[in-house]
Structures are given as C-alpha cells and as structure tokens.
Chain A
Amino acid sequence: MTSRFRTQLEEALFPPIIALLIALVCGDLLIMSYGQSPATVYRLLLEGTWGNAYGFGQVLYKATTLAFTGLAVSLGIRAGLFNVGAEGQLAAGGFAAAFVGLHLTSAVPWLIAIPLCMMGAAVGGGIVGAVPGYLRVKFGAHEVIVTIMLNFIVLALLNWLIANHIHVEETLHTPEIGAGAIPRLDAFMPAFHGSAANLSMVVAAITALAGWYYLFRSRRGFELRAVGLQPDAAEYGGVSVRGVWFRALTLSGAIAGLGGINYVLGYKHYYEDGLAGGAGFLGIAVALVGRNHPLGVIIAALFFATLSQGGLAIHAFVPKQMVEVLQGVVILAVAMSVPEVRRVLRLGRKPVTA
C-alpha cells in the first residue's frame, strides 16, 4: 500500500478512534461520579449487549434502523448535501408502509405484500426527501434548514393523521397491518426470544451493499461523488450538478423511509407515533462516525446501538442517560477531529511540486 493511500485511510480512521478514546475517558468520569468502577460497568455493558442472545438481538434491531438512517445521511453527504431530515423521512416511511399494509388482507402472499409495503416506505420517505431537493435546485434554499423544518412539519402532520383518523382507541398507533409482516429472528433462532430483531436487518445489509455498488461501481455514483468532491470538475465532466442534487436528496429520503419497515413490518406491525425516536438524528452521528462509507455506517450503527442497549443493561449502576451523554461526546469529538486530523496529516505530506 503506497504512502498516499495510507494517508487517505488514516484520515478516515483516526477521527473515530480518537473520538472513541475521548468517549471512554468521559465515560470513566461519569461512572466514577456515580461512585462506580468503570471496569465493572463497561464489562456489564458488553455482557448485556453482545454477551447474551436477547441483548444482542436488541442491538441488531436498533442497529438496523440506524443503518438505514446512517446510509441515508451518508449518501447525501457524498453528494455534498446535508440531510438533517432523516427523522421525518423515517416516520413518513414507516407510516406509508403501515398504510399500504393496512389495505392488504392476509390473503395476499408475503412475496407480494412485503415488497409492496417496502416500496410504500421508500416512496413515503422519498417524497419527503424530494421537497428539500426541489427547493435546493429551484430556489437555492439550503437543505439543512429545510430538512430540519420539514421534520417538525412531517411529524406534526403524522401525529394529526394518527390522532384524528387512523388510530386504535386509547392508543396512538394504527391498526395492525393485514399483510406484509417481516418475520422476527426468534422465529428461526429461539435463542433470540423476546427481542425485536427481525429480518429487516437483511434488507438493511442489502441496502448497504447496494449503496456501496451504487456509489463506487455505478456511473451515477461516480458522478454523485464527483459533485460532492469538486462540483466544478463534475460540471466540466458533463454532469448535471442540479440533477445530482435532486436525485441524491430524494434517494436519501427513500432510504431513510425504508428504515421504517424495521418497526412497522418487523416489530409491532403497526405505525406508532414516536416511531422515529431520535434515530434520524443519530443517523447523522452514524454517518459521521462511519465516515460516510456503507461499511463504516454498518459498524457505526452497531456501535451506537450497543451504546443504546448497553445503557439499559447498566441501569442499576449508572443512569442510562450516561449513554446519551456519550453519544453527544462521540459526535462532537469526531466532528472536531476530522479537520484537525486532515490538517496534521497533510502538513507532513510532501508538497506537490510544479
């Protein structure tokens, strides 16, 4: 491996590693402020997550949603755009999946029902993603603010729909879907009994793989990354920068929307208000820590899911809120170290001679 590529790899990997170390130190401080021993707590955290089947199942379940939102955000970033709207897109997708599922009867075979519901989810999220895409292309409206605002709008809209039109009495969720349920893991592997883990994770893995192929092997992915890296050169290379922007944001929304199937098709079989639960925002962290690469996103999703589930496992010793603090710390640390690492590494590089 030449020294040039090693630097690229270093630029990619150092920040998450640094962030992890900083998070560990902060975790130590928080744990000790509660009068506990870090070693004990960390061991408990690992045991409660990767150490037993139920815990691991929960990790897989949470990681699945995060993988979708992380992939969505990272795709946008690769095109030079910031999709902060994964939260709303996720909810919209989940609702759309439930909506489609509601109108199917159990007579519909799963081979048709599941893909139909999945398409619904993708379309739901895609529509929400297309709005900032259109506004950016047509009016130059910055997608960061539009997506943030749209989150609130979409969530309020969905809340209204549920509360006033499609809910089961005394609850804030839709009726169960007629068809389109995705089987849980514990249907095949009894060890996972009780956990929400379901085969949506396979869809997530396939989406990640597809994402990788799209980004690094397809012509459109080539053009998309070019726009994100150097729009002037992409334009010179005949790429429609605006077209890429619109497609990227729509696709990003669709992937986030697809994430809704984890809860709706795989777990509860209905749409519930609050389904997103912050997974959209965490998706940004996942994309960041995963360095916007599908493989990195999967690993980062597992990491954040472990943290989240681990918080529950250590609840007796330290408030699970510690995990939320660590999440914030990790994001901040990665955000701060990315430019710093790049600066330090490039200082050491030989300057390009004329």
Chain B
Amino acid sequence: MTASAETNQSPAILMRGIDKSFGSVRANRAASLEVLRGEIHALVGENGAGKSTLMRILGGLQKPDAGTLEVNGKDVTGWTTSDAIAAGIGVVHQHFMLVPTLTVAENIVLGQEPKKGVRFDYAWAVAEVETLSKETGLVVRADQKVSELSVGEAQRVEILKTLFRGAKILVLDEPTAVLSPPEVRDLWVVLRRLRDAGGTIVLITHRLDEVIEISDVITVMRAGETVTRLETGKTTPAEIAKAMVGRDVALAARQAAGLTDAGDAGDAAQHMGAHTSADAASALSVTDLVVMGSRGTREVDGVTFSIRPGEILGLAGVEGNGQTELIEALAGLRAVESGSIRIGSRDVTYDNVGQRRDAGLSHIPEDRHRRGLILDYSVADNLVLGRQREFASRGMLDGARIAANAQTQIEAFDIRPPSSSLPARSLSGGNQQKVVVAREMGREFTVLLASQPTRGVDVGAIEFIHSRIREARAAGKAILLVSAELNEVLALADRIAVMYRGRFVTVMPAADASEDVLGEYMIGSKKDAA
C-alpha cells in the first residue's frame, strides 16, 4: 500500500520503474519516487546516484527509457519542458540560469514578457515581481542587476522565476551548496512558507544535517536505484548515511578486489608499523592553509596536517567541502591565501607546478578530461605531459625515449589497447585513468596527490590502481588520497581525515574508522575538538 492511499489524494509526483541510460552508463535503474502534495521531500544520494537524471526526467529535459511518470494523478511520461512548466513544475538549478546583465524583474519575466503595444512593459514587470516578493517573503529588489546580487538573493530570484510561471511543485537542486548558514536558514523559512501555502517541494541534496532540519520525507538513491524511503522524524543521520553509502556495495567491491574487512584493517596497521616510524620527517606538511574559492569564499578554512613517508592519508568527505581547492592549492594550480606547504624540507607554498614536480610531487587530478589528459594527443604524448622537459634535449623532444617510456608504462600499467600512438580520446575511461596513473606514479616522486583516482573506472582497473597505490606506500611514498568513495578510503588509508566545510573535523587511524563513524563526521553532525 503506497503512502498516498492513506491520504486518498493522488501524489504530486509518482515515478515508477524509471530506467535511463546514456550510452553504456545506466544513470537510473528501476528508480522510483513518490512525493505527496504539501510535502518537503528530500532526494538524497552521493554523486552519480542518479538524482539529477531522475529530476531531469521529471522536468521534461529527458525522456525515460522505461517506467512511468505521473504528476497529480495524470500520466505524463515523456513530456517536454514546456508541458512541465505549464503543469506547474518549477526547477531551480544548481548553476543559476540568470542573465547577469539584466535586472531581477527582467530575468523573471524573460520568455513571458508583458507587453504594452509594441513595448516591453517593464513597469508592470517590476510591480508584479514586488507583489510576488511580498507574498512569498522572498525579499528581492526588482530593479537590481543580477550581477550585483549575493548568492542567496540570486537563488530567491530563481525561485521567484518558477513561481511567476505558476509553479506548484518546486524542485531545488543542491540549493544550499553555495549558501552560508544564515542564508540557509532564510531559505528554510521560505520553503516552509511555500509548503504551508499548498506547494510541494523536492530538495536534491547530500547535506544530511540540513535534510534532517527541513524535510518531511526522504528518498535515498544509490547507484541509479532507489534504496529506501524514510520519514525524517523517525530516522537517524546514521541510518541515512548508511543507506546513502551502502555497506553492501562496499563489501561487494572489496570482495571483488580480493580484500576482506578483517584483513584490511590488519593490513593497514601492519603497514603503518613497518614503513613509518614515529620520528620520520614528514614528506608533506601543511600548516594553517587557507584557500579562496572561485566565488570569493574560504573553501579551505585553516587546514593543518602532515603525511609521513610510507603513509596514506585518506581524505573522506562529501564533495564540495573544499577538497578540490585543497588539492589544487597543493598542486600549484590555485593560489594560497595564507598558510604554508612543505614537501620534505622545502617550502613550496609559492612554487609553480614545475617546481613542485621537481621537488617530488605527483598529482592524479580529479578530472582527467579537463586536467589530466589532452584527449587529442597520443597515449605516448600524454605519458610525458608535465615531464616534457625531461624528455627533451636542446629543445627537441626525444621521440625514441618517449616511445620507450610509453612502452614501459603501457606494460607496467596494463593499458589497453597497448598502442602508444592512439589518441587518448579513443581509450575507455578506465584505461585513460591508467594513463594518468602510469604517468604520475611511473616517475620519481616522494609525495602523491591522488584525487578521485578511480572515478568512472571499471572494477578491474580499480583493483589495479589500488594495488599500485599500496606498492607506492610500501616503497616509502607519502600519499594523500582524496575520494568521495568511502569504501576506497577505508580500504587503502592508514589514517583518515574527514573534511567538512573547509576544515578537517577529524583525523583518526584507519583501524578506528568505519562507515558509521565516518558518516557522522561527513554530514557534519560530529566534530572533534581542534
């Protein structure tokens, strides 16, 4: 019996058996969602869980391969964006769809401009926006240019946009990702008001502390499937985190990689003992690091840690908590606001990328397509990216040495197909990643930054990369492993730190860590004293 049968009213949204694939990637598999009218419903899941795809199908941007979509009792499977907008679905995107040079009122009425003869009736638009603003409590100045708005204000404009078009069902995609805590509280006030006025709200998020605060019902998605539906009042953060991250999945992956729980923890402890000593000088040490993000916010808010040779420090945490900026600052791709970075005894805080490499730093970037590879270059050329000076003499590249290097790396890292002259574009994701790993780990280094090293990679390549990382540790390298995959961090790290809102909220030995324990730090409900 579905929840809606109890209230005798058709649900605002009912999605059943939704399948959606993009090429060979299955974004949704038999996913479902039931949202009742007048509910604030949180749709939760990690990156790649399938939430956005499901919402795009709801909003008419995509058509499902299979399954049904009902809105307010009507079957509307496969409809278009215009249909969705007309039926009262309003989507507030994570990346705002606002024209910066136009005013608030202009943005809101864009596409449905009020007319007075041949003129655009701007005065009417302003008046209408002000009325709507007062009614809903979404405070904005209709005449202000969007480029001057704060993020919170811009978001209010996005919401007003949907309400102007008569939206009764609001979908907000990661709305708090860019808000400060007071702005988040303001948003909650607005959402509750909208709900009380008869609206239905779907919140896509992975910030579980906020989910607890604001939602009535929670649907958890994982790996394209709907895992469970929970009533917020009757569940705990730990239960939600577990559903999100999924013990079963972690176990299966580890078994596939030939590991078990017990063996792993013991492994980690053993390695820590064998290859590090209490007084070994740290290979990488970071002190009070502050890094600003692209929006002018402090993405890394005073981070201090160090890694000894022969140690893997795993950095867990939901994406968007500053990990990217931290890695970029360590790699030399982003300026440091304050604080210092040392590799061995050398202060590299103001060194450029090349100098850091020379100091022994290797970096597996989180986005192999943007940073890690030049897709139109051959595998051989990609294998020397960042090392081109090493392979040149008197300004000319040594083709023979580059080819030889490529051969060695291809064999050592089992890159397929084993042809060094193929463009990197033609390799599968897993093999592309192996090229990056081969390049970064197949050279002399003392510190490795590995950011999402197995993202989008098939199981076999995952295992391969993991064993290479272990080998590096055994050889005395210091490794910072940043991963949104909790099981990966648990499988490899000696110590685990959790990053939340730009700070390390805990650092613990891997033996003490588990999903439950880490989960609570990851969602921000627990913080160790600094």
Contact = CB atoms under 8 A, between A and B. Distances in A.
Answer whether A and B are interacting partners.
Answer: yes
A217 B399 contact: yes
B396 interface: yes
A4 B381 CA distance: 16
A226 interface: yes
Given A222-B397, A236-B372, A5 B365 contact: no
A236 B365 contact: yes
Interface in B381-435: 381, 385-386, 388-389, 391-392, 395-397, 399, 419, 421-423, 425-430, 432
A226 B376 CA distance: 9
A352 B388 contact: no
B354 to A, nearest CB: 4
B429 A352 contact: yes
A340 interface: no
Contact of A230 (B352, B375, B426): B375
B410 to A, nearest CB: 15
Interface string A1-43: 0101100100000000000000000000000000000000000
Contact of A233 (B373, B422, B430, B456): B373
Contact of A232 (B357, B370, B388): B370
B458 A354 contact: yes
Given A217-B396, A354-B429, A238 B423 contact: no
Interface in A139-193: none
Given A233-B373, A354-B428, A354-B456, A219 B397 contact: yes
A353 B422 CA distance: 16
B377 interface: yes
A163 B428 CA distance: 64
B388 A219 contact: yes
B423 A234 contact: no
A215 B456 CA distance: 33
Q: Would you call the interface of chain A mostly helix, strand, loop, or mixed?
A: helix
Given A217-B396, A217-B399, A233-B372, A238 B357 contact: yes
Given A230-B374, A232-B371, A233-B372, A351 B24 contact: yes
A348 interface: no
Contact of A226 (B377, B395, B423): B377
A273 interface: no
Interface in B437-455: none
Contacts of B353: 235-238
Given A2-B422, A8-B423, A238-B386, A217 B397 contact: yes
A119 to B, nearest CB: 20
A234 B375 CA distance: 12
B448 to A, nearest CB: 15
B457 interface: yes
Q: Would you call the interface of chain B mostly helix, strand, loop, or mixed?
A: loop
A233 B374 contact: yes
B25 interface: yes
A220 interface: yes
Contacts of B377: 225-226, 229
B333 interface: yes
A8 B397 CA distance: 23
Nearest to B25: A354
Contact of A237 (B385, B427, B457): B385
A37 B237 CA distance: 84
A234 B374 contact: yes
B381 A222 contact: yes
B117 interface: no
B23 interface: yes
Contacts of B456: 354
Nearest to A226: B374
B48 to A, nearest CB: 10
B51 interface: no
B477 interface: no
A237 B439 CA distance: 11
Contacts of A225: 377
Nearest to A351: B23
B385 A233 contact: yes
B363 interface: yes
Nearest to B455: A354
Interface in B92-125: none
B401 to A, nearest CB: 12
Interface in B1-55: 23-25
Contacts of B352: 238
A5 B333 contact: no
B363 A236 contact: yes
Nearest to B390: A219
B423 A5 contact: yes
Contacts of A219: 388-389, 391-392, 395-397
A4 B425 CA distance: 9
Contacts of B428: 352-354
B223 to A, nearest CB: 12
A218 interface: yes
Interface in A232-249: 232-238
B389 A5 contact: no
Contact of B374 (A2, A229, A351): A229
B386 A237 contact: yes
Contact of A236 (B371, B376, B399): B371
B376 A229 contact: yes
A218 B381 CA distance: 12
A45 to B, nearest CB: 37
A351 B22 CA distance: 9
Contact of B395 (A220, A229, A235, A353): A220
A223 interface: yes
Interface in B331-367: 331, 333, 352-354, 357, 363, 365
Given A219-B392, A237-B386, A354 B24 contact: yes
Nearest to A2: B422
16 contacts: A5-B423, A8-B423, A213-B396, A217-B399, A218-B397, A219-B392, A219-B395, A219-B397, A226-B385, A229-B376, A230-B374, A232-B370, A235-B333, A236-B363, A351-B24, A352-B428
Interface of A: 2, 4-5, 8, 213, 217-220, 222-223, 225-226, 229-230, 232-238, 351-354
Given A219-B389, A222-B381, A234-B374, 15 more contacts: A4-B423, A4-B425, A5-B422, A218-B395, A219-B397, A220-B395, A222-B388, A230-B370, A233-B385, A236-B385, A237-B386, A352-B432, A353-B25, A353-B428, A353-B429
Nearest 7 Cβ contacts at the A-B interface: A351-B23, A238-B354, A219-B392, A237-B386, A4-B426, A238-B353, A237-B385
